[in-house]
Structure 1
Amino acid sequence: MNDLQQFDYLKHVTGGLDRSAVLDELMREYGKDVWNFAFFMTRQRELADDIAQDVFVKVYEHLYEFRGQSSIKTWLLAITRNKARDALRSSWLRKVTLLPVWFDRDTHPSAERETMDKLEMEEVWSHVLELPRKLREALLLNSHYGLTMKEAAELLGVSEGTVKSRLHRARTAVNRKWAKETAACGEEEWV
């Protein structure tokens, strides 16, 4: 069942719904997506924890206001984006010097290939994290979260052409960085 079908009833609810039960269901279904998007926006685990919590508090408070103008996932990612942008703009965060965040490494790989694949994927994601925020957002929304160009454009408040341009520039930048690292190995580009 896709997002629109599973939570279609929410656009018709005006009260009397057990918001806690719906919130639990939304957190189970989209909690990881919300946290990951917050992390990729901020590059900080603790801040992503705070943002994800804030997102679901806001969803709880405004659940009856959802009217289905977008999918639930798009609505949640839009709230996440706004919360992340607010957090990044806060004067407290700008005054604090933060150390770079590294991915957790799996210490018990089952095979050499799995380990190599994981390391390659970590490299790709580290390149994605180095992209400017606007390019990173477009790439994540399209490639990782599967939003259409139209949905991403609506979420970002830009035209579809702008999303396509940012997506192209993001992929080109990641491919360029990846090509530099893999040129000696003769590996293919990441797309």
Structure 2
Amino acid sequence: MKEMQPQLSAELNISDIRGLMESYGEDVWNYAYVITKNAHTADDVAQDVFIKAYQHAASFRGEASMKTWLLKITRNTALSYLKRAFFRRVVLLGERSPEDGLGRMTRDSSSPSAEEEYMEREMADELWKQVIKLPGKYRDPLVLSVHYQLSMEEISVITGLAPGTVKSRIFRAKKKIAAEWKGAKDDE
């Protein structure tokens, strides 16, 4: 998807927000889901992100890309949701099907045989399940790096961590995933 870099002014109109939602809505929702692990909460977070973007358009200084700015708002909003007391009392974790957001992160558009497609989807689903199980401090930088292909500096801006810490956490996350993956394969 082409990176849209509109010049935001203090007064956004509805078509500006609609354009942001069309360009970045899926990225915002997927990242919110990765953090909250709940589709309904991800829906709420994504909606709040675009409301906040509308309300705080004047604070966008263009120092980072629009995508980085929106993902930072997403992270902060999702973490706020997680901190709320009602969320801690009710655990609403469910399995996600490949068609509903998580699957969109890994699916490609080629058309292999049905068996190959099934096996690839199963492997991708298992891998994403391992990623989702990581502690947030490792999961967030890994997803921002691998899925969103952001630079260490952009991830640093979003997470508020030093670039060296980001790099270290991504390395550790990959190491943990590899160990889990190897352990799962050894059990078969």
Taking structure 2 as the reference length, the TM-score comes to: 0.87
Q: Which shifted more, 89-98 or 135-144? A: 89-98
Deviations 1:29-72 (A, max 9, x none): 10000000000001001000000000011111122331101110
The answer on 1:155 being equivalent to 2:158 is yes
The answer on 1:131 being equivalent to 2:134 is yes
Q: Tell me the distance in 2 between the aligned counterparts of 1:165 and 1:183.
A: 27
Q: Tell me the distance in 1 between the aligned counterparts of 2:67 and 2:53.
A: 12
The answer on 1:47 being equivalent to 2:41 is yes
Conservation of the 8 A alpha-carbon contact between 2:46 and 2:74: yes
Q: How many residues align?
A: 176
Q: 1:59 aligns with which of 53, 78, 95?
A: 53
State the percentage of identical aligned residues: 41
Q: Tell me the distance in 1 between the aligned counterparts of 2:5 and 2:150.
A: 17
Taking structure 1 as the reference length, the TM-score comes to: 0.86
Q: Tell me the distance in 2 between the aligned counterparts of 1:150 and 1:72.
A: 14
CA RMSD of the aligned region, Å?
A: 1.8
5+ long unaligned stretches in structure 2:
100-111
Q: Which shifted more, 33-42 or 53-62? A: 53-62
Deviation at 1:8, TM superposition (A): 4.2
Structure 1 residues 37, 110: closer, same or farther in 2, change over 3 A? same
Q: 1:63-74, aligned counterparts within 5 Å?
A: 63-74=57-68
The answer on 1:166 being equivalent to 2:166 is no
Q: Tell me the distance in 1 between the aligned counterparts of 2:129 and 2:119.
A: 15
Aligned residue for 2:106? none
Conservation of the 8 A alpha-carbon contact between 1:103 and 1:122: no
Greater Rg by CA: 1
